[in-house]
Structure 1
């Protein structure tokens, strides 16, 4: 493959729906920059029909070329055991190495904390390709992603945390100040531009009209670093749905409806997804399951009555648009919040009353009222004229001294 040596080649990796809606503005900002040749490496669940074949959404919304990196097993994606997941990690490292060898990036950019992203990071570092990491410095004590994220942070050459407190955590593990660039949260910047999805479009997407139904958006993942098993989570979810649909609400407001998005590809995710589809079959008028909401996610949040489950999107994006959030279990324990969140354990007797309270408080909300800091966390940029996160990222990557990044490690633990 002939590639001009005059351009700086940037590979941006995406492997799940969760990353893409945050990476999309980053990718498209890079596409506008002269002197950069940017392309997307899309793999993982993006390429699987059971998860919505979301690579099509990536292709439709990206201004850059998309190259597929397929490392998932062909026979099954029901990876309920850790041995199968570990084999996928090994295959992903090989597949990303092959892709890097073929497309020869000068910089690899990754976001988040997934095992798929760790695989890409390992391949990049082993091949001496500078690695940029977005959204490091978070804390999620109830998920194995906590370890993956910290490992990626130690592998990375340049860091783009969303908040200053997250940059401070990176410094605490030995990452050097000059290689930490705080950007502000991408989700919050997107929320400032968003408008609620129109009722007719929400009904097309979900099957429910927000003018007549109180739509709860729910995402339930396994808890990969706690004693709560996937079959227990599935059982609690079933009983919660049954109870919520049976609520006799005193406010006589819209009847609740529940839109589930699928659990991601963690061990046990297939068990939860099987239960979700069973619930949709039992309650076709009240429960709907989508593999992914895609680029309409923030707009759909704004048209909903609230969010429940244990996804980072509840703690981050839903808070940023002012939607009530019910966070269940320990998966997101320790994560910085961009607004008020109600936390409950996996206990039906505690979850259902909180959902009832959420539904009874359902009313119109406005984006201008939603940026409420909690625990000292501020989701907005320090200045109203501050550039968007994707502009900060593109500016910095464009000016990186690649020779310096290649010639020495990014950091080492401080020893005294």
Structure 2
């Protein structure tokens, strides 16, 4: 069943598209899409801000959204204090309750969400139970080291439209039973930033951080891992920080806080202690914001840690990534990625490779498996062909299994 040109338009008002953002990273990725949809005269585009955007410990990044001149329709607090699994489950439940009221009051014709954050599980569940169509970005991806996989695939099954970043991911969404004509390979949204955004110079970046770079620097982010049979999360970070301590004579290190997955609070404590011992060569910040992060990505020697940015955005800037541990296991990667176990000697060896002139030269002509940075135009094209209202009824697509 196709949702494109499926019905005659029967709405008497402009179709209302509600974009929901829950985190700094996600908003940065969706920035140009939000701008474009809010400027589109054929729809009424609303932006709902929730999740970590409203948490002071995560930088209260709703202020960043407003500073970019983006129109915020409403903010919805759903986060329960804490980093553990119970807090995540309760936050998701509160999201379901709160957005049930939001959806009833605002009556969106389409809800747009991106990715796999656990907060979205309750929000999208509310939409599904209220027969509100959902468009999902970045389905079909795999991250075996975290529970995000489960959330991502669950959202896929509750969505009517799917915008994926490559043909491999499109195939996985179809494998989950989604109709092929509802799954669109548009490329990764975050690459639009690299193509369009005016980044800061290295000098301006340092001035904005009150940290003046004197040596090549490593852009470092290390998130907790929720599914791992090896070292516990804190033990993993201790190994990684030990390796970093051996690098401060050669590199400066720009570190951002982890997300608020289980173990995040302990991670922050360890990072603060590491910073206190290495203040001359290490700068720590809760959130760079997407403009400064993209600027840091452009100017860094290489990316290090276990953030998806090293796999998705870094290839477009020909930046090496030292990807540590199994958080990103299963995710598509380009030739810029050096995968390494949580082992100090192995990490240092990978760093030597990432910093080598020969390896960095080899990336100059490498392609990015996540697209070319023209994603928004493709999404707008699909949105323009929708016949409203969208039918929520879904038919399972059988690929021939017995």
Q: How does the TM-score come out when normalised to structure 2?
A: 0.90
Deviations 1:154-210 (A, max 9, x none): 111000001111111111111111101110222333323356531221212444444
- 3-state SS, counterpart of residue 17 of structure 2: strand
Q: Are the structure 2 counterparts of residues 405 and 61 from structure 1 closer, same or farther at C-alpha, using a change threshold of 3 Å?
A: farther
Note the C-alpha offset of 1:351: 0.7
Does the aligned pair in 2 maintain the 1:217–1:301 contact within 8 Å? yes
Matches within 5 A, 1:78-157: 78-79=82-83, 81-157=84-160
Q: Specify which of 260, 264, 271 is matched with residue 269 of structure 1.
A: 264
Q: Does 1:409 align with 2:394?
A: yes
Displacement of 1:363 in angstroms is 10
1:309 aligns with 2:309: no
2:164 to 137, 147, 161: 161
For 1:29-59, what per-residue CA distance to the aligned partner results, in whole angstroms no more than 9, with x for missing partners?
1012113111111111111111111111112
Q: Verify the 8 A CA contact 2:147 2:226 in the aligned structure 1.
A: yes
User: How far off its partner does 1:395 sit?
Assistant: 2.8
Choose from 227, 238, 243 the match for 1:235: 238
Residue among 377, 388, 393 paired with 2:379 = 393
**How many pairs are equivalent?**
389
Paired with 2:127 and 2:324, the residues of 1 have a C-alpha distance of 35
Is 1:18 aligned with 2:25?
Answer: yes
In 1, Cα distance between equivalents of 2:224 and 2:68: 29
Which of residues 45, 48, 53 is equivalent to 1:46? 53
Instruction: Write the distance in 2 (CA, Å) between the matches of 1:410 and 1:195.
Output: 44
Counterparts of 1:242 and 1:352, CA distance in 2: 11
* 1:215 equivalent among 195, 214, 217: 217
Contact 2:92 2:123 in 1 (8 A): no
Of residues 294-303 and 155-164 in structure 1, the stretch that sits farther from structure 2 once superposed is: 294-303
Alpha-carbon distance between aligned partners in 2 of 1:342 and 1:314, rounded to the nearest angstrom:
10
The answer to whether the Cα contact below 8 Å between 1:197 and 1:299 also exists between their aligned partners in 2 is: yes
- 8 A Cα contact 1:59 1:66, kept in partner: no
Alignment of 1:238-253 (within 5 A): 238-245=241-248, 247=249
- Secondary structure at 2:313's aligned position in 1? helix
Provide Cα deviations, 1:244-284, integer angstroms capped at 9, x if missing partner.
22x5xxxxxxx411111111121111111111111122221
SS in 2 for 1:56: helix
Deviation per CA, 1:321-363: give whole Å up to 9, x if none: 1111000000101111244210001111111232244345499
Q: Report the CA distance shift for 1:63/1:411 in structure 2 as closer, same or farther (over 3 A).
A: farther
In 2, the alpha carbon distance for the partners of 1:348 and 1:115 equals 31
RMSD over aligned CA atoms reads: 2.4
Q: Would the alpha carbon gap of residues 206 and 237 (structure 1) be closer, same or farther in structure 2, given more than 3 Å must change?
A: farther
Give the Cα–Cα distance (whole angstroms) in 2 for the partners of residues 348 and 301 of structure 1.
24
Tell me what 1:179 maps to: 182
Distance of aligned partners of 1:336 and 1:363 in 2 relative to their CA distance in 1, 3 Å threshold? closer
